[in-house]
């Protein structure tokens, strides 16, 4: 019997908590100002994957499973789990909103991006508003391991984004720099979410470190697959415009790899050509033939394998299984 790998199955051990997150997100972003209310309901009109809240809840579950009898029940900690899970999604939304302005991305979750609907000016402010509300919630419900971790992560994300802009249109960008960018930009927040969950329930430092490494490997693989889908995905299922990184001059691993092969000159010609409409199909063909798409997939698989190895320090539990399934899901996902 084949188990279908879908998020519903993976999220089963944290289902009850996760179901409460959308309402807590709305509560956290509540404001009397009509324009902000409109942007909030606009942004959250389509449900996201709630990946980061799920990681907080899985990290928390993992930490509780280490304690005798699943730990002492603590209402304060259970509340913290839920509010911090809402906060990490809002925090992520803030970076997405600014990111979409920065990348001039027209679509987000299959609908017009906020800066397209509400204008770039309101979108800059909406991002600031989301960010501030997230930080307030993190201060209120976090502890002295969680708050500094979040602030450090916010800095890393910002650094990763600036590095990405600095490396735009650089046909000599190395794989190493590219991986550093996606670790900072994407993986750091996934690792932070897991560790936040763990820190709520006082996981010991060595195990929390392992969980953080899982998050980093997992997160880099997640982004590599995301970037692969930018070439191979189905636009409607993926919910984003294909090839948008390319048009912005952001070169992802398949392109970076292909630039080190015999096809380099061909790729450079395509990247420099003015024919926007034909660039993506032309590149898709070269990347496919040269094996660069496969190369990126194998890399992602390698990171997922490394990620799973980090989970070996944890005794079996539904939460550990959830993380393992999530790692598999990253390789199988289409959106």
CB 234 within 8 A of CB 334: yes
Phi, psi of 318 (to 5 degrees): -60, -25
Reported residue count of the chain is: 335
Smallest distance, Å, CB 239 to a copy of itself?
22
Query: How many other CB atoms sit within 10 Å of the CB of residue 76?
Result: 9
Closer to a copy of itself by Cβ: residue 178 or 320 = 178
**Which is closer to a copy of itself, CB of 102 or CB of 331?**
102
In sequence order, what are the beta bridge partners of 111? 108
Q: From the CB of 124, what's the least distance to a copy of itself, in Å? A: 5
Across the strands, what pairs with 112?
A: 107
Q: Given the complex with a copy of itself, which of 150 and 217 has the nearer CB atom?
A: 150
CB of 199 to a copy of itself, least distance (A): 16
Is the CB of residue 326 less than 8 Å from the CB of residue 10? yes
Q: Which two tokens stand for residue 241?
A: 């415009």
Q: What is the largest CA-CA distance in the chain?
A: 64
The least CB distance from residue 306 to a copy of itself, in Å, is: 26
Nearer to a copy of itself, 147 or 282 (CB): 147
Smallest gap, in angstroms, from Cβ of residue 142 to a copy of itself?
Answer: 11
Tokens of 233: 């995905």
The Cβ of residue 305 has, within 10 Å, a number of other Cβ atoms equal to 12
CB of 35 to a copy of itself, least distance (A): 5
Shortest Å, Cβ 30 to a copy of itself: 12
CB-count burial class (<10 Å; 0-12, 13-18, 19+) for 178: buried
- Please list, residue by residue across 256-265, b when 16 or more beta carbons sit within 10 angstroms of its beta carbon and e when fewer do: bbbbeeebee
> Is 197 within 8 Å of 174 (Cβ atoms)?
no
- Closest separation between CB of residue 85 and a copy of itself, Å? 20
Q: Least distance (Å) from a copy of itself to the CB of residue 7? A: 29
Nearer to a copy of itself, 180 or 288 (CB): 180
Q: Which is nearer to a copy of itself, 95 or 290 (CB)?
A: 95
- Torsion sign (Cα): 238, 240, 246, 250: negative
Query: Quick one: 107 or 147, whose CB is closer to a copy of itself?
Result: 147
Query: In angstroms, rounded to a whole number, what is the distance separating the alpha carbons of residues 198 and 78?
Result: 12
User: Of 122 and 304, which CB lies nearer to a copy of itself in the complex structure?
Assistant: 122
Judged by DSSP in three states, 2 sits in coil
Question: In this complex, which beta carbon is closest to a copy of itself, that of residue 100 or of residue 310?
Answer: 100
Residues that bind a copy of itself (CB under 8 A): 31, 33-36, 98, 101-103, 120-122, 124-125, 127-129, 131-133, 135-136, 139, 147-148, 151, 154-155, 158-159, 161-163, 165-166
Q: Which residues contact 40 (CB under 8 A, 6 or more apart)?
A: 26, 29, 31, 126
In the three-class reduction of DSSP (H, G, I as helix; E, B as strand; rest coil), residue 108 is classed as strand
């Amino acid at each position: 019997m084949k188990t279908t790998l879908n998020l519903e199955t993976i999220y089963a051990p944290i289902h009850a908590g996760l179901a409460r997150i959308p309402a807590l997100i709305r509560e956290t972003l509540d404001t009397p100002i009509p324009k902000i209310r409109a942007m909030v309901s606009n942004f959250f009109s389509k449900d996201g994957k709630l990946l980061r809240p799920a990681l907080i809840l899985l990290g928390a579950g993992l930490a509780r499973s280490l304690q005798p009898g699943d730990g002492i029940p603590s209402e304060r900690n259970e509340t913290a789990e839920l509010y911090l899970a809402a906060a990490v999604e809002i925090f992520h939304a803030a970076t997405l909103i600014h990111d979409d302005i920065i990348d001039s991305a027209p679509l987000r979750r299959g609908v017009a991006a906020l800066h397209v609907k509400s204008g770039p000016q309101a979108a800059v402010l909406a991002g600031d508003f989301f960010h501030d509300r997230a930080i307030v919630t993190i201060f209120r419900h976090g502890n002295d391991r969680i708050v500094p971790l979040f602030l450090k992560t916010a800095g890393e994300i910002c650094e990763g984004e600036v590095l990405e802009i600095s490396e735009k249109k650089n046909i000599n960008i190395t794989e190493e720099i590219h991986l550093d960018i996606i670790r900072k930009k994407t993986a750091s927040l996934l690792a932070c979410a897991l560790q936040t969950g763990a820190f709520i329930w006082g996981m010991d430092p060595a195990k929390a470190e392992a969980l953080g490494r899982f998050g980093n490997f997992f997160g880099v693989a997640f982004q590599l697959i995301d970037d692969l889908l930018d070439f191979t995905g189905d636009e409607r299922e993926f919910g984003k415009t294909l090839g948008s990184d390319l048009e912005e001059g952001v070169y992802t691993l398949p392109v970076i790899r292909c630039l080190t092969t015999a096809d380099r000159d061909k790729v450079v010609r395509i990247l420099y050509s003015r024919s926007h409409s034909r660039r993506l199909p032309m590149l898709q063909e070269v990347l496919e033939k040269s094996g660069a798409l496969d190369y990126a997939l194998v890399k992602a698989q390698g990171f997922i394998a490394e990620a799973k190895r980090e989970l070996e320090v944890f005794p079996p539990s539904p939460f550990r299984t959830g993380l393992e399934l999530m790692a598999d899901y990253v390789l199988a996902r289409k959106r």
